[in-house]
Amino acid sequence: MTLLDINDIREILPHRYPFLLVDRIVEMDADRIVGIKNVTNNEPFFQGHFPDFPVMPGVLIVEAMAQTAGVLVLKSMEDRHNKLVLLVAIENARFRRPVVPGDTLRMEMKVIKRKASVAKMAGVATVDGVVVAEAEVMCKLADKEEKPPAPAA
């Protein structure tokens, strides 16, 4: 059952191809969300990671988990079109098995702590019921008008 499809997600998240990594939301309540990413051979990262053994980069699995969390954070906000959810921390990330073309990545994220502008969430990513990754992510709400921090020199 799909609660939010790709068009609904595009209304909530600012990400676009090739960096929108959530295709559907299938479960959601105030403190928990489940997102789906259909991993296809056409993903641009497979051209270089690795051509003879395509594997979804772990950092993109965590990004997909963070985007799923971002949907939960932004969904209930009336002024969400003026906000960005910025990833500020990743903790306890573990990768259990490769994610390859043809896999359906299921990302379940749960709120650990939530304040006005900061949320910490823990999640697990699975393929066919097998855990492929786990991580805790912290995100911060920012106004779109704010300039991102300058890169460190």
pLDDT averaged per 10 residues, the chain (length 153): 95 95 98 98 94 96 98 90 92 98 98 94 98 97 76 73
* CA atoms within a 13 Å half-sphere pointing along the CA-CB vector of 50: 3
pLDDT at 148: 65
Contact (CB, 8 A) for 32 and 109: yes
pLDDT at 76: 82
Instruction: Break the chain into its structural domains and give their ranges.
Output: 6-143
d(CA 146, CA 148): 6
pLDDT at 147: 65
Contact (CB, 8 A) for 53 and 64: no
d(CA 115, CA 117): 6
Contact (CB, 8 A) for 80 and 9: no
Annotated catalytic residues are: 49
pLDDT at 77: 85
User: Phi/psi at 89 (nearest 5 deg)?
Assistant: -160, 145
Phi-psi region of 102 (alpha: psi -120 to 50; beta: other; left: phi over 0): left
User: Phi/psi at 2 (nearest 5 deg)?
Assistant: -100, 125
> 6-143: which CATH number, 3.40.50.720, 3.90.550.10, 1.10.260.40, 3.10.129.10?
3.10.129.10
Q: Which residues contact 7 (CB under 8 A, 6 or more apart)?
A: none
